[in-house]
Amino acid sequence: METKTDNIIKGIAAAPGIAIAKAFIYEKERESINDDSITNVDEALQNLETALAQSKKELRKIFSVAVDKLGEKRAAIFDAQIMILDDPILLSTIQNRIRIEMKVPEFVVEDEISKYTRIMSASNEPYMKERSHDIEDIKNRILRNLKKKKLKSRITNDVIVITSNLSPSDTVLFARSNVKGYATDFGGLTSHAAILARSLNIPAVVGLHDATNKIKDGDVVIVDGFFGQVIINPDEKQLASYQEKLEKLSEHDEELNKIKDLPSQTLDGREVKLLANLDVSSEMDFILHNRAQGIGLVRTEQLFEEYEEFPDEEKQYQIYKNIAEQIYPDTVIIRTFDIGGDKVLPVDLHEPNPMLGWRGIRLLLDSPDLFKVQIKAILRASSHKNIKLMLPMIASIYEITESKRLIEECKKELSANGINYDKNIGVGIMIEIPSAAVMAKEFASEVEFVSIGTNDLIQYLLAVDRGNDIVSKQYQEFHPAVVRTLKHIIKASKETGAYVSMCGEMAADPFAVPLLIGLGLDSLSVSASAIPLIKKIIRSLNYKELQSLADECITMKSEKEISQHLHNFFNTKIQDIIKKLIRG
């Protein structure tokens, strides 16, 4: 029998693993509108009024949360949305058309508001284009409320979710329904949805372009998160081959299990600590199970995803304390909220360029109340001295000194209230912006440790959006500029005595690991699921050889050369078992 290929679609391998299950097509709030006639005008107008009132109620709630957490200025956008709902001209036009045309309110609302969005999205002004999304949002909100629908938050168990684009909150939310895999039309390797899928150990393929067109609800699909492909309604041969792969994978897991309790060091004795990244609290069991030597990154903004709002100081304290207790006596590095950019804000600011906008430390320093609540919660949880605090998106020395000043202020306030905390809590920074890389020596001398965030560093260094699959070819971790920048960061930071780690996704790439260790990193922080394999690789190598490997890569001029060199090294130096593991 010929092997079928016309039922295979290719995308980007975003989270490793293989899943076979029924497809669940997840469509976001796309309301179908008909132009049915009405017989009772009063009833239709009443329905419209109720939907508008409900929409206003929702927006007021968002607005008040926004004011509370982000201040009046940033919340203004929701005020503007409420004002649109109150616009007498728009309202009377809609009401009059319902009376005269005798059409259902959905049809008139859709038709009338779409006139605005069409004009705005056709504009050459980026600001106007952005505002058209606002208006579209309002329209969808009213339409949903006219249909008296609630947002979908639960799905059937044990399915593969097929959707156009996955948000981080969808990823977490669906994981609760025991989702087997994800396949999306859009998205890139380092999008947060992809990172979360990896953390949650859910196979995912993103950037498939037309998965939602080609796959129907209930189709059997195979998500191959190793090769970045999705097979729709596999034939017997395809199914049998993947079932065999699944069996092999579980044998490999057993193989890796055997080295779980052995140290993470090279053949010639260089220790490289293996830490875990924690995105959702449910990962803790897996982190402990895979014997992480600590947690190198807690993405606290994900707590916001889980809790749907910024948890207050007490709630945050409980969460951090709980993590610290579970990982004790090892250490946990808690990164303060890195909100904004591609990560969900409590409000949608519609910034023209969010990746270069109000995110990470910028937002925190502009919202000292929010920042101090988090610092105090972290300090209070640190009394057993196994917590460190890390600052995201640092671009200037002021951001470090100002954050340190706020940390001192929080310490004083806690001391004044007789509250216990680690007086010498270690403070570190993420190096993920080129300016911080250039200034690594000066910045590192301000802190105890630095952690390299390659997901953002590569994006900003190469000017390639980390979440955009159209340019995913240009997102190159082995670009010579990236490799040389890493070398500079590690060398310059170490000269100050700072401890240097990496928590970006590059640290979990088996082909990158020999280079990273050769460049001198002290530790790698990766998804818990990657720890056993990375340990196996580390234990197969000689540090001396890795230093030479790094020296060779530094002299190379193209990504192709470096990538080829690292692949050759891998193929000759690393045992067959690992090669097989990676090839699935």
CB of 181 within 8 A of CB of 158? Answer: no
In the complex, least distance from residue 232 CB atom to ligand PEP, rounded to whole angstroms: 31
User: Closest by alpha carbon to 526, among 518, 516, 537, 534?
Assistant: 534
Cβ neighbours for 301, distance < 8 A, ≥ 6 positions apart: 337, 338, 339, 343, 344
Eight-state DSSP code of residue 103: B
Q: Considering only residues 338, 422, 446, 522, which one is a binding residue for ligand PEP as defined by CB under 6 A?
A: 338
**Nearest residue (beta carbon) to ligand PEP:** 453
CA distances from 498 to 122, 272, 400, 441, 519 (A): 51, 15, 15, 9, 15
State yes or no: residue 454 binds ligand PEP (CB under 6 A).
yes
- Whether 277 contacts 527, CB under 8 Å: yes
Give the binding range for ligand PEP (CB under 6 A) out of 94-102, 261-269, 306-314, 454-462: 454-462
- Of 220-228, 419-427, 451-459, 574-582, the window that binds ligand PEP (rule: CB under 6 A) is 451-459
Contacts with ligand PEP, 174-213, as mask; x by CB under 6 A: ---------------------x------------------
If the CB atoms of residues 234 and 453 are measured against ligand PEP, the closer one turns out to be 453
Entry field: residues in the chain: 584
Judged by beta carbon distances under 5 to 8 A according to partner kind, the member of Mg ion, ligand PEP, none in contact with residue 529 is none
Query: Least distance from C-beta 489 to ligand PEP, angstroms?
Result: 12
The DSSP 8-state label assigned to residue 334 in this structure reads E
The amino acid sitting at 105 is: P
- CA 334, CA 49: separation in Å to the nearest integer? 47
Instruction: Tell me if 523 contacts ligand PEP by CB under 6 A.
Output: no
> Would you say 245 and 226 are in contact if contact means Cβ atoms under 8 Å apart?
no
117 or 459: whose CB is closer to ligand PEP? 459
Interface residue with ligand PEP, options 503, 516, 530, 550 (CB under 6 A): 503
**Which residue number, 330 or 432, has a Cβ lying nearer to ligand PEP?**
432
Whole-number minimum distance, CB 504 to ligand PEP, in Å?
A: 3
Q: Which CB sits closer to ligand PEP, 131 or 299? A: 299
Q: How many residues bind to ligand PEP according to rule CB under 6 A? A: 10
Pick the piece of the chain touching ligand PEP (CB under 6 A) from 64-72, 448-456, 484-492, 529-537.
448-456
Tokens (6 digits) for 487: 């070398």
**CA 287 to chain CA mean position, Å:** 18
Tell me which residue of 504, 505, 521, 497 sits closest to 273, measured CA to CA. 521
Structure tokens at 85: 């709902």
Give the whole-angstrom CA distance, residue 403 versus residue 455: 23
Element (H, E) at 523: strand 523-527
Active site residue 565: no
Instruction: Report the C-alpha gap between 389 and 386 in whole angstroms.
Output: 10
Contact 256, 240 (CB under 8 A): no
Instruction: For ligand PEP, give the closer residue by CB, 238 or 293.
Output: 293
Contact pick of 432, 446, 477, 509 for ligand PEP (by CB under 6 A): 432
Work out whether 455 is an interface residue with ligand PEP (CB under 6 A).
Answer: yes
484: number of Cβ within 10 Å: 15
CB-CB contact of 560 with 319 (8 Å)? no
Least spacing, CB of residue 579 vs ligand PEP, in Å: 27
Binding partner of residue 299 among Mg ion, ligand PEP, none, CB cut-off 5 to 8 Å per kind: ligand PEP
Instruction: Pick one of 283, 330, 456, 465: the residue that binds ligand PEP (CB under 6 A).
Output: 456
535 binds, among ligand PEP, Mg ion, none (CB under 5 to 8 A by kind): none
Distance in angstroms (rounded) separating the CA atoms of residues 428 and 177:
36
- Active-site option among 133, 192, 209, 479: 192
Closest contact distance (angstroms) between CB of 325 and Mg ion is 27
| Residue 275 contact partner, candidates ligand PEP, Mg ion, none, CB within 5 to 8 A by sort of partner | none
192 belongs to the catalytic site: yes
What minimum distance in Å lies between the beta carbon of 301 and ligand PEP?
8
Count of other CB atoms within 10 angstroms of residue 410: 21
Strand 204-206 and strand 12-15: pairing?
A: antiparallel
Residue for token pair 């309301």: 31
Considering only residues 261 through 300, tell me which ones interact with ligand PEP, judged by CB under 6 A: 299
Buried/exposed code over 227-262 (b: 16+ C-beta within 10 A; e: otherwise): ebbbbbebeeebeeebeebeeeeeebeeebeeeeee
> From the CB of 303, what's the least distance to Mg ion, in Å?
16
Pick the catalytic residue from 252, 410, 479, 503: 503
Bridge partners of 527, per DSSP, are: 277
Chain positions contacting Mg ion, by CB under 5 A: 432, 453, 456
Helix (H, G, I), strand (E, B) or coil at 340: strand
Least distance CB 166 / ligand PEP (angstroms): 16
If the CB atoms of residues 47 and 169 are measured against ligand PEP, the closer one turns out to be 169
CB of 456 to ligand PEP, least distance (A): 3
Catalytic residue numbers read 192, 503
Q: Which residues bind ligand PEP (CB under 6 A)?
A: 195, 299, 338, 432, 453-456, 503-504
